[in-house]
């Protein structure tokens, strides 16, 4: 059967198909229908082409994506996947087929395409890998090494620890596992919420994927097949948080330019050539940006010599400093996609454990449980083994000892007292990381869990919404010690000291505390002791969030206030000044926290009319309800729970979930923002598993999937895609061939006016011949051409020229030009693949073609491809049952092996 699409009351897609490939195609298609704009933004970001329609604000990212070679790495990883795991590669291609099938229709629903003038493009087999890589390339926070280097150079190495905290660009999560002994059902529960920058549409997609092999509900990443991070198969469930591991290295490089190109200084003292190319980032409404892409023996140069990083080396004034990035997928060619299918097929924690051995990027802490009370708590991902200095600051490429030596072994944890908690804190993943989140969220979750002997799925959402702010203690302690205050200041101090330290949206005390904290942060950031850090280096803008002083002060405030000594800064005096400022500004209070702590999601394209009035939120950075703003800069919330979930192993239908907005990415649709009120209040919606409670949605007829059919030839063409040549199936392929061959433009094919059954019969008869063969040519999962080969001596063309040994004739019918078919070079690239199959795969010496002499486009196409024009001949008329080929004047043309493959 074709994929069946059902939806629940919240518009969440539930997909059912006969096999995993058809299911992947269906997942890709429904994602394109629901989130076409989001998919295309992510594809362009992975390619570094988003500024071409989003404008200058997106250019900084595009420059980084080009320099980091994200798209090229995705291609490399896909090629590795095809070689090592062809099953998963075919499954990914099926997903891409589905995206391409639904993208045009989905784009028609999304107003952003018309607003920007963007036309939906075409996904390649490696695009999902590129989306995954672009989503997670900054997850490990490698730019923090630039910050540490800056602090060490300007304040001294001992100052680095003062700012050690969960950095402003790092995403985290809460997660906790309740074992069966602490559950009312006797079987485990898993709950949590990933903290990420809140995007609209959301970064997670609620989905159900069902086929005879598996039936899984979970949170998918739009643009990527399967369910990677949070899933429930019915018998086993899993969830992740960011392990805060360090697995990417920066290297300070010495670069020089020579007549031959660019060279980098190696650890052995030799200068060796670096790969260098020039690319152009197009910018809507602005000038194009030329980007020099350099790759040394360590990695891709992400900060170039133009940043003014250093002097020449060894008296060579042409040599300058640069910074390169080394990240595992670029080195290994592995993004861990081989784990995705085994995760879907898992039935016990042992299956999840084996699947996660294949995980690569990003590095996560995982919790899993099954219906036999099996439990799993481990780290998953690729962390290279290398020198300790690599982990903290940029290493010097010209000094030895910074090489990678394999990968770290997997740390495993236990479930103590019936609970396991993960919240990016220093714990299970400690050997793999440098900086971790403060312990407050993890400690608070465990304390709350200990308050009950047993828990149910319905009980756990309350933990998501806990707003206790333990990190307020140092500032409040300093406040309590103040004396000599004015009556207004004393009253304000006393109100804050009576405050319950909960960052509730309705709380005026929470708002006043936030005002006081911001005033302290601004004063610390402006203090002369930190003046050397106030102006960051001239690094690319994508790194600036890690290098800005005020956010660093804000997120490290707790440590800065409790350090034994802070460069002679009188912290009590700063707090007194801040208190006076707040008291003078709002002696009767600061309003409520929720009035200012409002959601500010990232949108690729800001709404121009009727902008959304986003809700006020409870919580704060160090609360379990981690809704992060930047104290001292803004109270608006950019980061928070990108989803919430509760997985019940006793009854999957008692599981719960919610996302910040809704299942649909289409503005104005019923399910675009229908979950937002629930998410704001901390409510979750039930996971529906009864198909009878779902509404069937019949999708329009879709093109078939070719992923599971064997190819006689398959070739990946850089910059073009994957071309597969399949033996024509006279029955299955009849609808496609009939649609092409019966069109007026294909009248020379002799099938105008024939029905689909007649086309089936014709190719069924041809399939019995030894001299004639038919093939369907598929590019990236979409049929694009019909290829027929024949022995010239057994065809009418053989009557018109002297046939030579090794000759083979071909007829080629191209599909109507789609988004790419009309582009320059498209048909030439396809023909090059077919020439390789016919000449190399079939071991022939010369190809002959016979287009109608009046078909000037076809004749010109063959001549551009290297065919040598032969005589114009008259092909005799053929009148067979169902097929009439009239007499025609044909331009013979020949492609010898030597021309197709010179040298």
pTM, to two decimals: 0.79
Check the CA dihedral 416-417-421-427 and report its sign: negative
Residue 787 burial by Cβ neighbours in a 10 Å radius (0-12, 13-18, 19+): buried
- How many alpha carbons fall within 13 Å on the CB side of residue 510? 25
pLDDT for the residue numbered 482: 96
Structure token digits, residue 764: 């069924």
Beta strand residue intervals within 605-675, DSSP E:
628-630, 634-641, 644-648, 656-658
DSSP state of 19: S
pLDDT for residue 819: 39
Residue among 380, 419, 399 nearest 229 (CA): 380
Residue with tokens 């670029």: 330
Find the angle CA(298)-CA(302)-CA(306) to the nearest 5 degrees. Answer: 115
| Coil vs helix vs strand at 290 | strand
Fold designation for 249-326: Penicillin G acylase, beta-roll domain (2.30.120)
pLDDT in tens, 658-682: 999 999 999 989 999 999 999 999 9
Query: Which are the contacts of 451, defined by CB distance < 8 A and separation ≥ 6?
Result: none
The tens digit of pLDDT for each residue in 389-422 reads 999 999 999 999 999 999 999 999 999 889 999 9
User: Which residues of the chain fall short of a pLDDT of 70?
Assistant: 1, 166-171, 306-320, 587-589, 607-612, 698-704, 742-753, 816-824, 877-886, 903
Segments making up each domain of the chain, as ranges: 4-138+669-686, 158-167+466-639, 249-326, 713-900
Q: Does domain 4-138+669-686 have CATH number 1.10.439.10?
A: yes
CATH of 158-167+466-639, one of 1.10.10.10, 3.40.50.720, 1.10.1400.10, 1.25.10.10: 1.10.1400.10
Burial environment of residue 482 by CB neighbours within 10 A (0 to 12, 13 to 18, 19 or more): middle
How close are the terminal C-alpha atoms of the chain, in Å? Answer: 49
Identify the pLDDT of residue 310: 39
- β-strands 320-326, 249-258 pairing: antiparallel
* pLDDT tens digits for range 51-101: 999 999 999 999 999 999 999 999 999 999 999 999 999 999 999 999 999
Edge to edge, the sheet with strand 214-220 lists: 375-380, 364-370, 236-242, 230-232, 214-220, 205-211, 13-16, 4-7, 695-697
CA distance 208 to 176: 23
Tell me if domain 4-138+669-686 and domain 158-167+466-639 are identical in fold. no
Instruction: Name which CATH class applies to 713-900.
Output: alpha beta
Q: CB–CB of 415/375 below 8 Å?
A: yes
Asked whether 537 and 150 are in contact (CB, 8 A), the reply is yes
């Amino acid at each position: 059967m074709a994929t069946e699409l059902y939806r629940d009351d919240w518009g969440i897609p539930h997909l059912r198909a006969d096999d995993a490939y058809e299911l992947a195609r269906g997942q890709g298609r429904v994602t394109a229908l629901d989130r076409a704009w989001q998919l295309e933004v992510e594809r362009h970001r992975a390619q570094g082409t988003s500024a071409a329609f989003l404008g200058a604000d997106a250019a900084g990212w595009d420059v980084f994506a080009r320099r980091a070679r994200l798209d090229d790495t995705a291609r490399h990883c896909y090629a590795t996947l095809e070689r090592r795991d062809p099953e998963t590669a075919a499954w990914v291609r099926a997903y891409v087929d589905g995206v391409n099938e639904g993208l045009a229709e989905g784009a028609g629903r999304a107003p952003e395409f018309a607003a920007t003038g963007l036309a939906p493009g075409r996904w390649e087999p490696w695009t999902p890998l590129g989306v995954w890589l672009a989503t997670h390339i900054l997850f490990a926070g490698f730019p923090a090494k630039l910050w540490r280097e800056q602090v060490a150079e300007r304040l001294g190495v001992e100052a680095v620890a003062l700012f050690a905290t969960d950095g402003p660009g790092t995403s985290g999560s809460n997660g906790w596992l309740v074992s069966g002994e602490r559950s009312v059902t006797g079987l485990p529960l898993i709950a949590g919420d990933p903290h990420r920058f809140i995007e609209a549409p959301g970064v997670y997609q609620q989905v159900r994927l069902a086929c005879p092999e598996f039936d899984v509900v979970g949170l998918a990443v739009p643009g990527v097949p399967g369910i990677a991070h949070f899933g429930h198969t019915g018998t086993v469930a899993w969830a992740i948080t960011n392990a805060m591991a360090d697995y990417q290295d920066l290297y300070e490089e010495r670069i020089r330019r020579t007549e031959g190109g660019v060279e980098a200084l190696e650890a052995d003292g030799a200068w060796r050539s670096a790969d260098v190319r020039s690319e152009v980032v197009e910018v809507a409404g602005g000038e194009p940006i030329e980007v020099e892409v350099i790759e040394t023996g360590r990695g891709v140069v992400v900060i170039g010599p133009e940043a003014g990083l250093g002097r020449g080396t060894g008296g060579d004034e042409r040599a300058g400093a640069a910074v390169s990035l080394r990240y595992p997928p670029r080195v290994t060619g592995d993004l861990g996609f081989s784990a995705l299918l085994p995760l879907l097929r898992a039935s016990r924690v042992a299956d999840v454990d084996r699947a996660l051995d294949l995980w690569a990027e990003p590095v996560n802490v995982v919790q899993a449980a099954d219906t036999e009370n099996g439990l799993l708590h481990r780290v998953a991902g690729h962390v290279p083994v290398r020198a300790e200095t690599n982990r903290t600051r940029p290493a010097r490429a010209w000094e030895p000892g910074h090489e990678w030596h394999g990968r770290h072994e997997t740390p495993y944890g236990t479930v103590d007292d019936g609970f396991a908690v993960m919240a990016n804190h220093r714990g299970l993943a400690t050997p793999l990381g440098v900086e971790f989140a403060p312990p407050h969220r993890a400690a608070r979750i465990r304390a709350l869990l200990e308050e009950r002997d047993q828990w149910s799925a319905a009980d756990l959402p309350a933990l998501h919404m806990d707003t206790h702010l333990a990190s307020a203690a140092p500032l409040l302690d300093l406040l309590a010690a103040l004396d000599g205050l004015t009556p207004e200041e004393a009253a304000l101090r006393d109100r804050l000291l009576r405050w319950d330290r909960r960052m509730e949206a309705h709380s005026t005390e929470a708002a006043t505390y936030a005002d006081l904290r911001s005033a302290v942060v601004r004063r610390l950031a402006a203090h002369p002791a930190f003046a050397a850090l106030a102006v960051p280096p001239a690094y690319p803008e994508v790194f600036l969030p890690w290098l800005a002083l005020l956010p660093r002060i804000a997120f490290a405030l707790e440590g800065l206030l409790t350090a034994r000594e802070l460069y002679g800064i009188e912290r009590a005096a700063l707090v007194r000044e801040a208190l006076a400022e707040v008291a003078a500004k709002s002696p009767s209070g600061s309003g409520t926290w929720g009035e200012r702590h409002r959601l500010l999601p990232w949108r690729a394209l800001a709404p121009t009319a009727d902008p959304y009035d986003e809700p006020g939120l409870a919580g704060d950075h160090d609360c379990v309800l981690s809704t992060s703003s930047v104290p001292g800069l803004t109270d608006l919330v950019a980061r928070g729970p990108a989803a919430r979930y509760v997985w019940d192993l006793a009854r999957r239908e008692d599981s719960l979930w919610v996302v910040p907005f809704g299942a649909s990415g289409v503005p104005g649709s019923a399910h675009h923002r229908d979950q937002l009120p629930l998410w704001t209040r901390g409510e979750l919606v039930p996971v529906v598993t009864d198909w009878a409670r779902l509404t069937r949605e019949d999708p329009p007829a879709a093109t078939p999937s070719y992923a599971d059919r064997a190819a006689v030839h398959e070739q990946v063409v850089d910059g073009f895609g994957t071309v597969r040549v399949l033996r024509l199936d006279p029955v299955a392929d009849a609808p496609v061939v009939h649609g092409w061959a019966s069109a007026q433009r294909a009248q020379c094919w002799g099938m105008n006016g024939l029905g689909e059954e007649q086309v089936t019969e014709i190719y069924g008869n041809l399939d019995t011949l030894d001299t004639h063969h038919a093939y369907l040519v598929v590019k990236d999962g979409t049929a694009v051409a019909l290829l027929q080969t024949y022995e010239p001596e057994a065809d009418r063309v053989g009557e018109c020229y002297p046939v030579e040994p090794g000759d083979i004739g071909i007829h080629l019918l191209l599909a109507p030009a789609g988004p790419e078919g009309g582009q320059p070079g498209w048909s030439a690239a396809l023909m090059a693949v077919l020439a390789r199959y016919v000449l190399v795969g079939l071991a022939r010496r010369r190809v002959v073609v016979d287009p109608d002499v009046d078909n000037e486009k076809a004749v010109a196409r063959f001549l551009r491809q290297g065919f040598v024009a032969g005589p114009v001949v008259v092909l005799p008329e053929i009148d067979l049952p169902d097929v009439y080929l009239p007499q025609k004047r044909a331009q013979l043309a020949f492609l010898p092996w030597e021309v197709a493959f010179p040298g």
